[in-house]
Homo-oligomer: A and B are copies of this chain.
């Protein structure tokens, strides 16, 4: 685990997040999403638990509904997609609607747009659309694209992965950190079916941990990665040791091949 020790850390409570991915192209299969995994990784690093993701089409009502639902339920919401200059980029308007505020070309964003385009391209109506920001929002500025924005607990980011990644890094640098969820992965080198019952007993005995079991195939046989997660290093170490001892025990009882 690698939480930045210089970053602000919040109190003991768990900090949660939701994500809304906006785009017909993800739902049609044309574009394969890469942003969910990136956001999930960064949030895990800073100790924020991603609790829910919704993927919705480029339809205003659906975006409003998802943003409102997740904003009410989780500490933070991250959105990706729909903030470009074309007619199908309606995220900024939908988020303004979700918060019941107006939206217009923002002088700060327009200044950034004009500086970027100076001597290279015309500031036309479509490009100015990218400077539309809901009233009361703060900007999420990046080098490689027009700014995203934050309003309430919602961080609105681009869909293009390189731009989203820059925005997510910028947001994470300022976001209060939670207590990181620590984790340890143990390769059982046995199928899930052999360890499932004793593993379930260990999980039941340690409700302050989350034990996951992930089957994978190797050389035509199923094996299992067991992942133990906990916020307390001592708890993690103790439960991981218990899982390892259990696996050794099950292996010792297997018939020799």
Contacts and interface: CB of A to CB of B under 8 A. Distances in A.
A136 interface: no
A129 B29 contact: no
Contacts of A215: 84, 160
Contacts of A28: 40, 44, 50, 181, 183, 229
A200 interface: yes
Nearest to A121: B193
Interface stretch (A6-14, A92-100, A203-211, A236-244): A203-211
Contact of A193 (B41, B43, B88, B124): B124
A43 B30 CA distance: 12
Given A27-B53, A217-B162, A125 B197 contact: yes
A106 interface: no
Report the copy number of this chain in the oligomer: 2
A248 interface: no
- Nearest 9 pairs between A and B by C-beta? A126-B196, A29-B40, A87-B200, A29-B41, A86-B213, A53-B55, A127-B193, A32-B37, A85-B196
Given A25-B214, A28-B183, A30-B212, 15 more contacts: A21-B53, A26-B40, A26-B53, A29-B38, A29-B42, A53-B55, A84-B196, A84-B215, A86-B195, A87-B196, A87-B199, A121-B191, A121-B193, A121-B194, A127-B196
